[in-house]
Amino acid sequence: MRVSLIQLDVDPAESPDARRSRAAALVRRQHGSDLVVLPELWLLGGFAYDAWSDGAEPLDGPTAEAMSEAAKDAGVWLHAGSIVERDPDGPIYNTSMLYSPTGELTRSYRKIHRFGFDQGEAAVMGAGTELVTAGTEFGTLGLATCYDLRFPELFRALLDAGTEIFVVPAAWPARRREHWTLFARARAVEEQAFVLACNTAGTHGGVEQGGRSLVVDPWGAVLAEAGAGEEVLTVEFDPAEAARARQEFPVLRDRVMGIRAPAERG
Ligand SMILES: NC(=O)CCC(=O)C(=O)O
């Protein structure tokens, strides 16, 4: 399986329309890959809260349309990162979208854990409530977004739903870059799964982004890692390695369910 992570530079000097066209052109250039991944909120910026309300779009808006066309033209599965989704009956959401090689929107995932500790995303966006996996010819993909990486219980639930390859778009800041790499590797080792973690480059909303997108195998080995700037990271791996790792080192069989705190002594 050949995957390409597009670590896009999100620069406020570039208009969203220009960035949308540039991202679509970059996706088209990945013809020959099986799966292409874009980062979180690459159109408006993961920390550009002020732009979100006006720039929000529905799941059949201009970004969705451009991504569907690009996936079809390139003939690839496309995880198009996330957009600020406008739900006509509700709040805005941080929603990622997965397109098939025929350009069909097969899955969308509303980010469950919102970042900001009651501010920023956590204050202005609604929280997703549903786990999302997608069956492909390469195995089952499990979708998570950025801050979700800090919550192992989400990844365990996605594992239980069949995930072999986690796809994690992000807008992860440079100042916590060590956490990014650590969590991507930890989730891969814990769940004995591949992790495809695609970050942004550049500075948006005044927050310098960490780049360093990475692909990790089920043993925790980093197969490829980007630098800090815009870059397309392409790597090939055998997705059957997740099943092999689970068989060879069957730690998941030793899970003990329902562990509880001891009852209080009277
Ligand atoms: N966009 C995000 O979810 C940022 C997460 C982050 O900065 C962190 O977890 O640290």
Whether 244 lines ligand 1, by a CB cut-off of 6 Å, is no
Q: What is the distance between the alpha carbons of residues 260 and 101, in angstroms, rounded to a whole number?
A: 45
Ligand 1: residue of 95, 112, 146, 178 to mutate (most ligand atoms within 8 A of CB) is 146
**Per-residue pLDDT tens listing for the chain (266 residues):** 999 999 999 999 999 999 999 999 999 999 999 999 999 999 999 999 999 999 999 999 999 999 999 999 999 999 999 999 999 888 999 999 999 999 999 999 999 999 999 999 999 999 999 999 999 999 999 999 999 999 999 999 999 999 999 999 999 999 999 999 999 999 999 999 999 999 999 999 999 999 999 999 999 999 999 999 999 999 999 999 999 999 999 999 999 998 888 887 66
Q: What is the distance between the alpha carbons of residues 112 and 93, in angstroms, rounded to a whole number?
A: 9
Annotation marks residue 40 as catalytic: yes
Q: Can you read off the two tokens belonging to residue 245?
A: 């790792």
Q: What pLDDT does 262 receive?
A: 84
Annotation marks residue 72 as catalytic: no
**Residue 171 dihedral angles phi and psi, to the nearest 5°:** -130, 75
199-232 burial, b for 16+ CB within 10 Å, e for fewer?
bbbbbbbebebbbbbbbbbbebebebbbebebbb
Domain assignments of the chain as residue spans, ordered by start:
2-252
Q: 2-252 is classed in which CATH architecture?
A: 4-Layer Sandwich (3.60)
Q: What is the distance between the alpha carbons of residues 220 and 242, in angstroms, rounded to a whole number?
A: 11
Annotation marks residue 111 as catalytic: yes
Q: What is the DSSP letter of 265?
A: P
Q: Can you read off the two tokens belonging to residue 26?
A: 């970059």
